[in-house]
Amino acid sequence: MADAKKILCHACGQANRVPGDRLGAGPKCGTCGAPLVAGKVAELDLPTLQKSVRTDDLPLLVDYWAPWCGPCRMMAPEFAKAAQQLAPDIRLAKIDTQAHPQASARFNIRGIPALILFRNGREVARLAGARPAADIVAFARQHVAA
């Protein structure tokens, strides 16, 4: 497993090692059995987000949103479409800034919706405002390839 990828299970918080060539085969968490790269958006809390940013070998694109935000609600289905298109190379997650206000402070979020792309434990790029799926996919691929 020389090319194994560390991936945090967003359901139980357990780190998993997955062979790089098996990412597209629907790997599951060894602890809870949840899919690791299912092409769906994971709803995270701040501790899980921070652990995923530190642990994951795959890039993680996070949507900072709130239930009262109209543009956030409009972008949610587009973000879900982008998750399907970017799997298994990039995982997508979202965090509710109303339920987790400390996430806004921790990541210096000034307006929502806001997207932050993390790779190798660092913020790679940031994008503000509601976007269609095509723009989200292009943004993620552009910055992962760089």
User: Tokens at residue 137, please?
Assistant: 């996919």
Contacts of 94 by beta carbon, 8 Å cutoff, 6+ apart: 41, 42, 43, 44, 62, 63, 64, 65, 76, 79
Handedness of CA 144, 121, 130, 39 (dihedral sign): positive
Reduce the DSSP state of residue 35 to 3 states and report it: strand
- For the chain, the straight-line distance linking the first and the last C-alpha, in angstroms and rounded, comes to 26
Q: State the amino acid at position 145 in one-letter form.
A: A
> What are the catalytic residues?
69, 72
Cite the DSSP H helix spans in the chain: 46-55, 70-86, 101-106, 133-145
